[in-house]
Amino acid sequence: MGTAMLYFRVGMLAVLMVVVLTYPVLVRGADQAPQVPPLRVPVDQLDGIQRATIILDSYSYTPNHVIVQAGKPIELLLTSITTITPHNFLLKNEAAGLSIERDVGSGRTVTVQFTVMKPGIYPFHCDKKLLFFPSHQEKGMEGTLEVR
């Protein structure tokens, strides 16, 4: 075997090693939610509702930071794009009178309407969990409603 061939084989082996070693990172990377900027929800000129769509996937909300105005009705369309895994949407804050808990089955869209009078940062999350596994929230399924 010539020296050139040996270098070629070592080179190929190195490339293969890099692919094998980074594969889990690549796969996990593909599973991550797309990074999108915070969504400033516009007020509908016709009905005055602040209407926004949030995509639910395993395990993310997109966008995961939604900015709305206090005192005006909010309508969230929670759209699941999963084929099997069910998710939900929990947004609770006693001081602001918020107690929202909605299941969103795979492939379904659920609409939730509410109004927040008190400006603040309100976290929301999915509390689904398979026995012994981390919860969806722990896997990154959480977000923020920012009321200004």
Task: Pick between residue 38 and residue 134 the one whose CB is nearest to Cu ion.
Answer: 134
Q: Could you say which of 60, 96, 124, 136 contacts Cu ion (CB under 5 A)?
A: 136
Task: Pick between residue 64 and residue 136 the one whose CB is nearest to Cu ion.
Answer: 136
Supply 23's token pair.
């594969």
125 near Cu ion (CB under 5 A): no
HSE of 123, CA atoms in CB hemisphere, 13 A = 7
The Cα angle at residue 94 between residues 93 and 98, in degrees rounded to 5:
55
Stretch that binds Cu ion, among 26-34, 76-84, 92-100, 130-138 (CB under 5 A): 130-138
Neighbouring residues of 19: CB distance < 8 A, sequence distance ≥ 6: none
Task: Pick between residue 76 and residue 147 the one whose CB is nearest to Cu ion.
Answer: 76
| Total residues at interface with Cu ion (CB under 5 A) | 5
Q: Could you say which of 50, 96, 124, 128 contacts Cu ion (CB under 5 A)?
A: 128
87 near Cu ion (CB under 5 A): yes
Task: Pick between residue 50 and residue 125 the one whose CB is nearest to Cu ion.
Answer: 125
| Backbone phi, psi, residue 20, to 5° | -65, -45
The alpha helices in 92-146, defined as continuous H runs, are none
Nearest C-alpha neighbor of 60 from the set 96, 25, 85, 40: 85
Instruction: Report the interface residues with Cu ion, using CB under 5 A.
Output: 87, 126, 128, 136, 141
